[in-house]
């Protein structure tokens, strides 16, 4: 059922006042379709509002342009307008800078999407840390002579441990490259961003790649990490 004329006029009046810009009946009808108002009802409401002085209008040939009454709005003085313009310029500059930073960050993220994602790096990091810990515990027992193993078995274990350390070092470097790229163009503080994502560095949980690297067989040691 279509709205009553008085409620239609209220809807149209609120819309015209909210828009506070020149409007014709077609534009108003397009915006108010959700109220199930037909264009004829819209036109009637606009004319009634204009006749009662609640809105103003001007005729341009056969077309009428409607506008909210300006005397109902508080008009800022020259000083206030100047302040508003300055504030608007400042905000626009901040918006432009933010858009530029966001654009750069989005570009970097897209270029990194072809590589491992941050979640994948973190997941692999957890697995590698677990493997390294297990290998370190086993190597310690082997070197203490708790368990006798053959030279071949020892070589396999040491190679596995060496490979794990190499993977750890590689993933650590990959994560650092990704993290540096993301935080370089991010407006957020890196430490706050890190806390927000729930990230933990090696030192946060009391582990050190350097410490584990010293456990590697002499011929496989790489002290850089």
Residue 29 pLDDT grade (very low, low, confident, very high; cuts 50, 70, 90): very high
CA-closest candidate to residue 32, choices 42, 24, 40: 42
Which pLDDT value is given to residue 11? 93
Determine the average pLDDT of the residues in 99-123: 76
Q: In the predicted model, is pLDDT for residue 109 greater than 80? A: no
Which one has a higher pLDDT value, 194 or 47? 47
Residue 103 pLDDT grade (very low, low, confident, very high; cuts 50, 70, 90): confident
Which pLDDT value is given to residue 4? 52
Determine the average pLDDT of the residues in 37-59: 92
Which pLDDT value is given to residue 224? 47
Which pLDDT value is given to residue 206? 76
d(CA 128, CA 133): 8
Q: C-alpha dihedral over 69, 74, 75, 80, to 10 degrees?
A: -160
Task: Give one DSSP letter per residue of the chain, joined into a string.
Answer: -PPPHHHHHHHHHHHHHHH-S-B-HHHHHHHTGGGT--HHHHHHHHHHHHHTTSEEEEEETTEEEEEE-GGGSPPP-HHHHHHHHHHHHHHHHHHHHHHHHHHHHHHHHHHHTTS--HHHHHHHHHHHHHHHHHHHHHHHHHHTTSS---HHHHHHHHHHHHHHHHHHHHHHHHHHHHHHHHHHS-SS-HHHHHHHHT---GGGGT--HHHHHTTS-GGG-----
d(CA 211, CA 209): 5
The predicted-structure confidence for 148-202, as pLDDT tens digits, reads as follows 567 787 788 888 888 888 888 888 888 888 888 888 877 878 788 778 778 787 7
Mean pLDDT rounded to a whole number for the chain? 81
CB of 66 closer than 8 Å to CB of 17:
no
Beta bridge partners of 58: 65
d(CA 36, CA 11): 11
Residue 107 pLDDT grade (very low, low, confident, very high; cuts 50, 70, 90): confident
Which pLDDT value is given to residue 13? 94
Determine the average pLDDT of the residues in 123-147: 77
């Amino acid at each position: 059922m279509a709205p009553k004329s008085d409620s239609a006029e209220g809807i149209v009046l609120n819309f015209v006042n909210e828009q506070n810009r020149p409007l014709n009946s077609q534009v108003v009808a397009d915006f108010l379709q959700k109220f199930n108002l037909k264009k004829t009802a819209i036109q009637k409401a606009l004319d009634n509002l204009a006749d009662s002085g609640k809105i103003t209008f001007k005729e341009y040939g056969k077309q009428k342009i409607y506008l909210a009454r300006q005397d109902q709005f508080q008009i800022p003085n020259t000083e206030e307008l100047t302040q508003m313009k300055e504030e608007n310029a400042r905000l626009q500059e901040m918006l432009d800078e933010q858009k530029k930073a966001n654009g750069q960050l989005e570009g970097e993220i897209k270029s990194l999407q072809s590589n491992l994602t941050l979640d994948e790096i973190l997941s692999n990091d957890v697995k590698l840390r677990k493997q390294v810990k297990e290998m370190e515990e086993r190597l310690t027992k082997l070197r203490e002579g708790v368990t006798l193993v053959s030279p071949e078995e020892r070589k396999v274990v040491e190679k596995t441990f060496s490979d794990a350390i190499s993977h750890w070092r590689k993933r650590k470097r990959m994560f650092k490259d990704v993290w540096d790229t993301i935080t370089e163009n991010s407006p957020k503080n890196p430490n706050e961003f890190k806390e927000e994502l729930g990230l933990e560095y090696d030192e946060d949980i009391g582990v050190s790649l350097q410490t584990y690297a010293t456990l590697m067989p002499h011929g496989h040691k790489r002290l850089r990490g």
